[in-house]
Structure 1
Amino acid sequence: MANVTYDLQWRGSINELIDQLETERLLDVSSDGKSWTDIAYVYIRYIQIYRQLEEAYDQVVHPQKRVDLRFTLEACIGRLLEIKYWLVKLNHLHEAVSLDDILLDLKLSPDVLEIPVPQFYTIDRREDLERRNNFLHALMEKYNKTPPASGPPPPLRLPPLAIDEAVLMIQSQERGRQLRTKVKEIRLVKRLQEEELRHQRQGGELLSPDDAATKIQSIVRGFLDRRRMKRIAHNELLFIGMRPPPRDPNEDPLLVEAQNKARRKDVQARNKEEYDNALAPIKKKVKESEGLDMREFVQDKINRWFIENRDPKTGDYPDIPDEADAGSKYIMNPLPKLVVIPEPEEKKKKDPRAEKIAANRAAAKKAKEKARKAEAKQGKGRREEVVKPPEETCPIYFRDHIRKAINTYCTRWQDKDETSNFHQKHDVELVKDAIRPSIFEELRKEVDIEMRTLLENLKEMVIAERAARLGKQGRKGRRGKKGGKKKKKKSGNMALLMMQFLGIGPAKGKGKGRKPRDPTADRSLESLYAELVGNGIIQPCPPRKFSEYVGGYNFLGSTLEKAKITPDPSIAQIRQLMIEYCVLSLGSQFLNEKAPPIKTLLLFGSRRVGKTLLVHAAAHAAGANLFNLTPSNTDGLYPGKQVNLMMHMVFKVAKVMAPSIIYIDEVEKVFVTEKRKAREMAGTELSNRIRKELLKAVKNLVPGDRILIIGCTYRPMDCTTKNDSKNFVNFFNKHIFVPLPDYASLRLLWPALISRHGGSLTHEFDLSTLCHLSQGYTQGDIEQVIGTVLTKRRLMKLPTNPLTVEEITDVLFKLRPVDKESDLVIRDWSLTLPENKKKEEVMKEKAKDEKGRQSRATNRSKSAK
């Protein structure tokens, strides 16, 4: 597509953002749940705007447009995360929000809710990621470490057949082959007999070879002549423009689109390189042409400040503030003077009536307090009024950034004429406007240094003149130096006042306590990284994608909720939650600092349902480092008290090389404190040895660290004690249940996995029956079955011998599905989560209110009778 296409797409997104801000202004976003539907509409609209902006940013080639477009995109993502946070809050903390009824009202398909992974998280960091991966693989080879398995599970190994069973199978196969050969011969003989009988019934004799050849020739010549005339007619229509030219069969539209996008990426890189190379010459040119005026402006301001603040008695000049005190910035933008409004004389006079009223109020208050204390002693104290905390509202931080992005677009790009800029090169005037503040700052610092030198010389001259006049040059010079020191101290106080006024001063209470000692302060980051790789804690992230986690959307979620049935999150909703919580805020420093914080996340569900796949996909999409702190992976490493060193190294490297994901499988073992159970779960070392340091490290994480801890478990109920369960649940900010695939997901899963393994399905394949038979099996089981069935030899026979349901079920039924009791135990444990408890309380309150309303209606009807 052309450049103007994406410019129009950007313009349309800006217009929709303006409409969204107006819609939000008219909304009631209170926490009573009344605005849930309106917030859901806003959420869906922001997803659509985000998709448009992400596509436009991926394909725009103008380097300066990309800067402003990225700011708009990040502001939209941040607002999307804020709306999702508030939507979950209104949904009683349930992460999987059912929007099927709203999609039905808007006449939209569930594909609208699919959030694409931002491509610029990895594309803009391509060179850094390549260098990091090369360094990681070099260390893996050095320490003889194998990367984690990322491919499909190995084929199912069936037990060997007994000799009698093998003989019977061979016999049946051979008898079948002989029967098929005999059937072919019988069919050939029967066809010849039918042909001879047909000729006899026609009453004619068979044609001679010459007659048969003549008849064939006439038919062939007629066919060739008709084809020639069609070709002539087609060429004539092409010549006069009545028919479009034929398309090359080798030019696939999807392939052409991919080639065009790759070409635009090359143009992006070239324009960006030209833009970066042009910054230095343009900066030099602006400095030469406008630098003198900037220097004169700063000098005039400082000179005027000298004259205005000179001591009239002594003639001393004030000191220029130090650079730590903002330098001449303070001179050009001084602190506002505090204006003290004098109290009017009328109020200063005491009013005897006011004094009397105040005395009466004080006496009444004192008597009331005395009576309350007396009642409290007798056990009849009054209830103290409960101060309700302020009602929480929807975050609105990114709304201002959206307004700023809209203003930037309207002032720079809306009315800009780019008819002459066909190749979308950078705009020199915009570059000058962007670099002028930095040039002014550099020149201001240079002028400050020059003016400080000039001021020192001027002060020496004043002191020398004064000393010569009084005859006390040496003593006055020494006093002048002492005075200068005092003034510098005063300047430091002024700096502190300036910083406090601007809101950039040091926070109160910080810096008083001692910082914890860093045991690795004398080691480089490369050595720490290499040690963690050598111990298998840092692992290469397999290139998995969220599209591999195949599944559909639940179209009956809202209906089930209205019937007071909590539905399982669908596969599509889990993909959406993982992208929102693990990718969007983790891949951007700006979003991670300001978006609703998420430090920890728990994935729980049965075995082999795709939890590890989701973790790998999130790390790959965000371009994050993957740290594996699974107890089985760290068993035997850093024994005893050295575990504190391991945790310190992990979090230190994770912060410096952010974004980072710390993956802990079987995370319930970390939180078990019961000694007997901990010994049963332990290997060489106790599994819960990292718990104390893990809690401390997570507590010290601040927004902007870009570290996410993801725990996976299929036995969360192993934390049996009340204290263990409470610590385990409260440690994670988000809890996501990964269920077994339902029928709708299986309808998509079977064809997708068969196609991924190189197979295909025909129209005769009974997919519906297979989905019914495979309910209760996990995604890992299904992929293992397909890998067992579709061997290389079987794939070669697929064109002539299509795949059948019986082949798959023969292998499928040799695996055991997930036990219903174990799945029910996990579901019962999920009822102890805070979101389920809160929803249960809300449901009870609603039922109580409904019962009260019905009883009041009954009483009114009885009284009316």
Structure 2
Amino acid sequence: MPFDVNHKLWIATSKDIGQLLKKQMRLKTIDPPEEKALSFKILCELYVLYVELVNKLTYIYFNTFQVQKRVIVRTLVENATQQLMLLKEELKEIELSEYVYMDRVLISRKLTPRDLMVWRSPQFLYRRPLDIQNILSKNKIYMNDEEKEATAAEDWIKVTKAVKLIQAHERARRARLYKANIKYDKKKYLEVQQRKKVNYMFTFKPNQAMSIPVKRTVFNADFIKAEDSCADLRNKDDNIEDVIDEQERINNLRNNAARVIQSWWRTYKTKKIYKIKKQFKKELLGIKKIRQLKKPNQFANSVLEMYKNEKLKQQLDEDFAKLIMDERTRLLQIRTPWMMEDISDHIRAWFEEFYDKTGNFHPYPDPVKNGTVLVVIDETMSPMEFQESLNKKPMTKEEKQKLKDKLKAEKKKKRDKLKQQKIKDAKRRKKLKDAGIIDIGYIVSSSKPIVKIEQTMKQFSIDWRNVDEYLNKNHDPIKEWVTEEQMEVIHQELRQLVDEYMRIEYELLREAWAKDKKVPYKALKVKNAKVKKSKKKRRKPFDPTEDRTLDSLYNELKDDGVIEIVSHKDFDEFIADFNFLADDTRDKEDNLTTVGPAKGDIKMVIQESMMGMSEFDISKPKSILLVGPLNSGKKLLCNIIASELDAVFINISPEKTVKYVDDLNMFLHKVMKVAKAFQPTILYIEEAHRVFAKKIPPEEVDLKPTAIASAIAKKILKPIKKTDKIVLLGTSMMPWAAKGTLKKNFKKIILIPKCDYGTSFLIWLDLMTENAPDDLETYTYSALARVLQAYNSGDITSNIARTLNIERKMRLKFEALEPKEFLEYFLSENNPPMFPPELKVMEKFTKWFGKSNKFEKMRRVLMAIKEAKQKKKK
């Protein structure tokens, strides 16, 4: 994104943040709405505003290179995303579902459900260190000077070897040609070679005039018709003419064939260009439009471009760190003596002030209280207060203890009062929640991310009010701020040093004062800050692969097929439509949706889970399980997640782990070590119900699928910290065949819904128009989608790929495609015939998911209570 666009977008976004903060301030003061639907609407509006804000801020952060401003934008992005997740959790609790529908709010803002998809790759990607990224990349993206020199030397060696190989092959080719010519006609070949060789001497010297004027003429015509000599013509055989005629005939045939091919090709190209222009003209006039699924324009930056931007940011960070060190060195060299003199003069003036007004010296502040910094911030006693303290009688130990107990009791009373107030507020909110009332004011006022955003914007408006960002197109840091910060740091360091010397001077003054007053002198005790005793260092866990490099471990797992290279996919390749009916079919009593989710809604839930895998500090589930029937798109979604995250894909399915069963601990140690080093990482288990199977099928006994079951919780999930960008991702088409430990090990379970009409229509439309856009422009997609709606998306995709193959596409011009051909694939070409999933199977998935998801459990309890009330009324 250009600098000007990014700058204008930042100005507009900062205004949006100001308006959003004002709106939230008004919400803090309102009373909780009695209607649950109104609370839901307010929170939905806030959620949509934060979605727009996060999308804008991520674009800005990705294209902000100025070091000091980047810190501010990062803080805003992180806290805005955290608040977005908190709002989504509140909406889920109100909706009692993983899927939240807010179509009415979207309509008012002229948005679609697709606009709520927050994830924008690569803006959210977790940035790996460059040395780790270089291991993953086939070619190193970024290198230091030493690596560049080594790589250049290696490249030169490779080029030299390549040149030698080419030269060897060329010499061998010439030798073979020479041998063949000598064998065929030695005399003729040697004569031709002698005619080609012309011996001459070149005697021209620089700056020498020509003795004979020469006119250089370039002749294009070739007057030599043959290389045959007169002797050859005399000995020419008459039968050769027949051979020449046959050769000319063959050449003529080839030329004519080439002319026909070229003619047809040029005709085809001309017709195609004319057709495109005609179609463009029709679309321009609004006469006709192509029925094709239009995908939204994704952000054009690739992962490679992201790392290029990161290289620029890294260079700017290094320059900024160098600037800080240079400025610190300069200040220490130039300003240190004057700063120490100023500090000591200020302390001496403080001594003099107290002596003149009180005839005594104020106690020297202890290092535990940051020394004479208290004098600067005016937290010491005034001369009057000090005089009063001298006139007071010293407190006895009992009085001191009594005062200490009193202060302690007051603090405890305040804590108890605050605790009681919190309990009271929590009871009040629970009472309101049971009555269906949501306290929006508390939700907004108790949000830490909102407070952080307010503080950041306030500080930004103060610090940057006199800075013209538009003039800084080279992303230079603001040097004045660096000087101020380093001056403050140096001042703190020097004050500690000066305090040590001035304390000696202070004691000399007190000693002299004691002699003048003829009182005994006693040096004051110095209270230094307590040095925290270092806790016993925990023993590092034993690492059996300590002597091995990450590169070798990664390549070992990759060679064994445990680390897989997934093809690049994005969310647009998971073709699915959203549910546009759920918001309009809410129950009038409890305002809950009565229609289940569509297949496109699953994208929203998956993206929320992916947000924690970004570089920002956002909560995330450690493990996710995708549940659904065969060919419902589970593996495709796993591929998409890995591609969007640019994650290392480690497959620990039973097929991969069976050969490591004897030494499973060592295998898992390598896996987790590589996973933590190469984050973000996906640990994938295909058909995870096999790992926790109640009964192992006979055909899978050799795989020993349950061998890894007990180690998943201890060896995989437990070592994953909150900050780690690692997730255990599993799929299952028979979750009911597993034990209850399946639910315990997978924190988030997502059920892929059955294929609906909208999804089916989009799949037929997109895949068929992609294969043959001209011939299938006006096809009966709606009828196909309605008739074959129950089939899974994978079945439809394979049907289109097999039916609409290259041979069939070639016949589309003169043989129209009939819908029965797709039916024949399902019913005739497959043995046995392929039918859609039975309703009993889908009900089985729904029933199992209802026992696994907390929102589904709450919804079922609520529905049971509702049914009981209705029975009582009857």
TM range (shorter): 0.5 to 0.7
SS for the counterpart of 1:736 is strand
Q: Is residue 2:610 matched to residue 1:575?
A: no
Q: Deviation string for 1:435-476 (max 9, x for gaps)?
A: 75468658977997x889x98xx99xx9xxxxxxxxxxxxxx
Q: Which residue of 2 aligns with 1:707?
A: 726
State the match for 1:411 in structure 2: 462
| Cα deviation code 1:727-761 (max 9, x no counterpart) | 22232222211123210111211222234446556
Match for residue 89 of structure 1?
Answer: 93
* Conservation of the 8 A alpha-carbon contact between 1:68 and 1:408: no
Aligned with residue 585 of structure 1, among 604, 612, 615? 612
Question: Structure 1 residue 794: deviation in Å?
Answer: 3.8
Q: Which position in structure 2 is the counterpart of 1:765?
A: 779
* Structure 2 Cα separation of the partners of residues 709 and 304 of structure 1: 62
- Equivalent residue for 2:801? 787
- Tell me if the contact between 2:13 and 2:53 (Cα under 8 Å) persists in the aligned partners: no
8 Å contact kept, 2:328–2:486: no
Q: Does 1:526 align with 2:551?
A: yes
Deviation at 1:774, TM superposition (A): 1.8
Indicate whether 1:818 and 2:836 are aligned.
yes
Residue 800 to residue 320, structure 1, CA distance change in 2 (3 Å): farther
1:716 aligns with 2:719: no
Corresponding position of 1:360: none
Equivalent residue for 1:279, pick from 317, 320, 325: 320
- The aligned runs of 1:161-240 (5 Å cut-off) are none
Equivalent residue in structure 2 for 1:433, among 481, 499, 511: 481
CA shift in 2, pair 1:280/1:614, >3 Å = same
Tell me, yes or no, if the aligned pair for 1:661 and 1:709 is still in contact at 8 Å: yes
Q: Which residue of structure 2 lines up, in the alignment, with residue 639 of structure 1?
A: 661
Deviates more, 1:791-800 or 1:777-786: 791-800
Task: List runs of 5+ in structure 1 lacking aligned partners.
Answer: 139-253, 310-316, 349-386, 463-485, 498-504, 856-865
Please give the secondary structure, in 2, of the residue aligned with 1:554: coil
Kept in 2: contact 1:631–1:670 (CA 8 A): yes
Contact 2:675 2:726 in 1 (8 A): yes
Q: Quote how far apart the aligned CAs of 1:559 are.
A: 4.0
Q: Partners of 1:518 and 1:271 in 2: how far apart?
A: 36
Displacement of 1:271 in angstroms is 7.1
Report deviation, 1:58. 4.3
Mapped partners of 1:415, 1:847: distance in 2 = 65
Question: Does the CA contact (< 8 Å) of 2:576 and 2:762 recur in 1?
Answer: yes
Q: CA deviation at 1:578?
A: 1.0
2: CA distance between counterparts of 1:122 and 1:437? 32
Q: Compute the displacement of 1:546 (Å).
A: 0.8
- Shift of the alpha carbon at 1:545? 0.5
- The CA deviation string for residues 626-659 of structure 1, in whole angstroms up to 9 with x for no partner, is 22111222222x223x212222222232223322
Cα 1:329/1:24, change in 2 over 3 Å:
farther
SS class of match (1:626): strand
Report whether the alignment pairs 1:396 with 2:411: no
Q: Report deviation, 1:299.
A: 8.3
Structure 2 contact 122–301 (Cα < 8 Å) conserved = no
Change (3 A) 1:514 1:806: same
Give the whole-Å Cα distance in 2 for the aligned partners of 1:522 and 1:265: 33
Matches of 1:332 and 1:399, distance apart in 2: 36
Q: Match of 2:682, as an amino acid?
A: I
**What secondary structure does 1:678 align onto?**
coil
Q: 1:548 to 1:257 in 2, by over 3 A?
A: closer
Counterpart in the other structure of 1:540: 565
Match of 1:134 in 2: 137
For the pair 1:648 / 2:669, whether they are aligned, the reply is yes
Q: Is the 8 A contact 1:635 1:683 kept in 2?
A: no
| Conserved 8 A contact 1:10-1:56 | no
- Specify the code of the residue in structure 2 equivalent to 1:738: I
Task: Give the stretch that moved more between structures: 780-789 or 527-536.
Answer: 527-536
**Aligned counterpart, 1:223:** none
Say if 1:639 and 1:685, in contact at 8 Å, map to a contact too: no
Residue of structure 1 equivalent to 2:681: 660
Equivalent of 1:695 in 713, 728, 739: 713
Spell out, residue by residue over 1:45-78, the C-alpha distance to the aligned partner (whole angstroms, 9 max, x if none): 2112222323344455656544433332222212
Cα shift readout 1:493-512 (whole Å, capped 9, x = no counterpart): 70339xxxxxxx97xxxx69
Residue from 750, 761, 765 that aligns with 1:751? 765
| Aligned twin of 1:120 | 123
How far apart, CA to CA, are the structure 2 residues paired with 1:627 and 1:683?
A: 23
SS in 1 for 2:851: coil
Q: Is the 8 A contact 1:615 1:710 kept in 2?
A: yes
CA distance in 2, matches of 1:666, 1:54: 36
Q: Deviations over 1:799-851 (max 9, x none)?
A: 66665434433324445133313223212212212332221112223445567
Contact 1:717–1:829 (8 Å) recurs in 2: yes
CA contact (8 A) 1:554 1:570 kept: yes
Give the secondary structure class of the aligned counterpart of 2:855: helix
Contact kept, 8 Å, 2:574 with 2:637, in 1: the verdict is: yes
Aligned to 1:240: none
| CA distance 1:135–1:266, change in 2 (3 Å) | closer
Kept after mapping to 2: 8 A contact 1:9/1:52: no
Please tell me the residue identity of whatever aligns with 1:838.
M
Q: CA deviation digits over 1:761-787, x for unaligned, max 9?
A: 644311111101222222222221222
Q: 3-state DSSP class of the match of 2:627?
A: strand
Q: Which residue of 1 aligns with 2:209?
A: none
More moved, 610-619 vs 678-687: 678-687
TM-score for both structures, normalised by structure 2: 0.61
The letter of the residue matching 2:328 is K
Say if 1:624 and 1:658, in contact at 8 Å, map to a contact too. Answer: yes
Alpha-carbon separation, structure 2, partners of 1:113 and 1:28: 29
Distance 1:19 1:850, change over 3 A: farther
Identity %: 22
CA distance in 1: counterparts of 2:801 and 2:722, whole angstroms: 44
Residues 436 and 633 from structure 1, CA distance in 2 versus in 1: closer, same or farther, beyond 3 angstroms? farther
Distance 1:713 1:264 in 2: 36
- Give the distance between the partners of 1:712 and 1:654, measured in 2 at CA: 20
Call closer, same or farther: CA 1:65–1:842 in 2, change over 3 Å.
same
Maintained 8 Å contact 1:43/1:83: yes
Deviations 1:238-267 (CA, angstroms, capped at 9, x unpaired): xxxxxxxxxxxxxxxx99999999999999
Contact 2:122–2:306 under 8 Å retained in 1: no
Answer with 97-106 or 438-447: which moved more. Answer: 438-447
Shift of 1:419: 5.7
Distance 1:622 1:298 in 2: 53
- CA 1:830–1:341 in 2, change beyond 3 Å: closer, same or farther? farther
| Shift, 1:665, TM fit | 1.5
CA shift in 2, pair 1:259/1:566, >3 Å: closer
Distance in structure 2 (CA, Å) of the matches to 1:560 and 1:136: 55
Cα pair 2:566 2:643 within 8 Å, conserved: yes
Partner Cα separation in structure 2 for residue 259 and residue 596 of structure 1? 28
Give the deviation of 1:604 after TM superposition: 0.3
Could you tell me how far 1:622 is from its partner in structure 2? 2.1
Alpha-carbon contact 2:562-2:650 (below 8 Å) kept: yes
Q: For the Cα contact (< 8 Å) 2:629–2:837, is it kept in 1? A: no
Matches of 1:256 and 1:775 in 2, distance apart? 28
The correspondence of residues 451-600 of structure 1 with structure 2, limited to 5 A, is 494-496=530-532, 516-562=541-587, 566-582=594-610, 584-588=611-615, 590-591=616-617, 595-600=618-623
CA gap 1:686/1:446 in 2 versus in 1, 3 angstroms: farther
SS at match of 1:602: strand
The RMSD of aligned alpha carbons is: 5.2
- Cα distance per residue 1:115-148 (max 9 Å; x no partner): 242432349669668524325999xxxxxxxxxx
Tell me: CA distance 1:607–1:81, structure 2 relative to 1, closer, same or farther (3 Å).
same
Q: Does residue 69 of structure 1 match 2:89?
A: no
C-alpha distance 272-776 of structure 1, shift in aligned 2 (>3 A): same
